[in-house]
């Protein structure tokens, strides 16, 4: 009888933990600022990862009852695996981090520089379905400037991984501060989540806005100027 009760207690703990995980996923809550990665995440080369993912995805399709002998489906496991590693989750690999080269601000531009409407595509880490939208970033030079395309590439690097929008916003801001050598950075992200649009509440009209301000952008006047610029159409 005691052993039976102990078994129930174990199940209760397991079910409680499972329920916690469900709550975190359903409410789209991040558990850390850094993307959760194992220390050995990149000990396996990309081609090996592609082969292993393809094998497992084929098994998933088979469990779903799909006919993998059909010409339309037979190549899907390999295509999905390659897409995961080389494209939509390529931002997991530090080797793909964009190199940011700084240039002297010879023309002495002292005002904020705003790069708005950067289109990005990401994926929700809770359901592995798309997140897409616009990122708006700004900085104020500390004596150096960066090529505009690098701002875009930083956004894309952090978007191309399983993400939570709040985390992505902070990661982009922290990377910009480090790369640009200034605290005067702002990031606003306006995004749509397929895990909200196509499942759960199935609300197709909403979007989610997150922001991170640091340095001079914490001052109401500077922040208001930035927000005015990104609202211009």
> Looking at 165, 171, 175, 212, which residue is catalytic?
165
CA distance 83 to 70: 21
CA distance 175 to 186: 11
Residues 37 and 73 in one domain: yes
> Looking at 28, 115, 125, 175, which residue is catalytic?
125
> Looking at 115, 136, 195, 212, which residue is catalytic?
195
User: What are the tens digits of pLDDT across the range 89-138?
Assistant: 999 999 999 999 888 877 778 889 999 999 999 999 999 999 999 999 99
Per-residue pLDDT, 105: 78
> Looking at 28, 115, 126, 163, which residue is catalytic?
126
Q: Is 59 a catalytic residue?
A: no
Q: Could you say which of 66, 94, 122 is where a domain stops?
A: 94
* The model's pTM: 0.84
Residues 55 and 148 in one domain: no
> Can you name the residues that pair with 131 across neighbouring β-strands?
122, 193
E strand or H helix at 226: helix 220-231
User: What are the tens digits of pLDDT across the range 18-48?
Assistant: 555 555 445 555 567 899 999 999 999 999 9
Q: What angle do CA 38, 170, 221 make, to 5 degrees?
A: 170
Look at residue 1 and tell me whether its pLDDT is greater than 60. no
Q: Is 183 a catalytic residue?
A: no
Q: Is 127 a catalytic residue?
A: yes
Per-residue pLDDT, 22: 57
Domain with 6 in it: what CATH number? 1.10.286.10
User: What are the tens digits of pLDDT across the range 43-61?
Assistant: 999 999 999 999 999 999 9
Residues 226 and 111 in one domain: yes
Q: Is 21 a catalytic residue?
A: no
Q: What Rg do the C-alpha atoms of the chain give, in angstroms?
A: 22
Q: What is the DSSP string of 40-102?
A: TTTSS-HHHHHHHHHHHHHHHHHHTT--TTSTTTTTHHHHHHHHIIIIITGGGSGGGPPP--E
Q: Is 124 a catalytic residue?
A: yes
> Looking at 136, 163, 171, 193, which residue is catalytic?
193
CA dihedral 162, 187, 219, 109 (to 10 degrees): 150
Structural domain harbouring 211: 101-231
> Looking at 28, 124, 136, 171, which residue is catalytic?
124
Q: Could you say which of 74, 94, 114 is where a domain stops?
A: 94
Per-residue pLDDT, 10: 54
Q: Angle formed by the axes of helices 76-83 and 46-63, to 10°?
A: 130
CA distance 59 to 81: 13
Q: Is 52 a catalytic residue?
A: no
Q: Could you say which of 94, 125, 155 is where a domain stops?
A: 94
What three-state secondary structure class fits 13? Answer: helix
Q: Is 111 a catalytic residue?
A: no
User: What are the tens digits of pLDDT across the range 170-208?
Assistant: 999 999 999 999 999 999 999 998 876 655 555 666 789
Residues 167 and 195 in one domain: yes
């Amino acid at each position: 009888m005691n052993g039976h009760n102990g078994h129930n207690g174990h199940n209760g703990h397991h079910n409680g933990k499972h329920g916690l995980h469900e709550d975190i996923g359903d409410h789209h809550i991040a558990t850390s600022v850094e993307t959760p990665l194992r220390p050995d995440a990149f000990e396996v080369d990309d081609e090996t990862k592609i082969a292993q993912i393809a094998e497992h995805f084929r098994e998933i399709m088979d469990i779903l009852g799909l006919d993998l002998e059909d010409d339309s489906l037979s190549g899907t496991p390999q295509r999905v695996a390659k897409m995961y590693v080389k494209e939509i989750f390529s931002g997991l690999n530090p080797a793909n981090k964009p190199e940011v080269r700084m240039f002297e601000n010879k023309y002495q531009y002292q005002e904020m520089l705003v790069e708005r409407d950067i289109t990005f595509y990401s994926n929700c880490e809770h359901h592995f379905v798309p997140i897409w939208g616009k990122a708006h970033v700004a900085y104020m030079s500390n004596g150096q400037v960066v090529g505009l395309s690098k701002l875009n590439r930083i956004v894309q690097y952090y978007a191309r991984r399983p993400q939570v929008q709040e985390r992505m916003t902070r990661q982009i801001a922290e990377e910009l501060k480090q790369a640009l050598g200034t605290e005067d950075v702002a990031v606003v992200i306006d995004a749509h989540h397929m895990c909200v649009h196509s499942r759960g509440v199935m609300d197709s009209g909403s979007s989610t806005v997150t922001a991170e301000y640091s340095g001079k952008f914490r001052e109401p006047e500077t922040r208001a100027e930035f927000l005015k610029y990104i609202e211009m159409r």
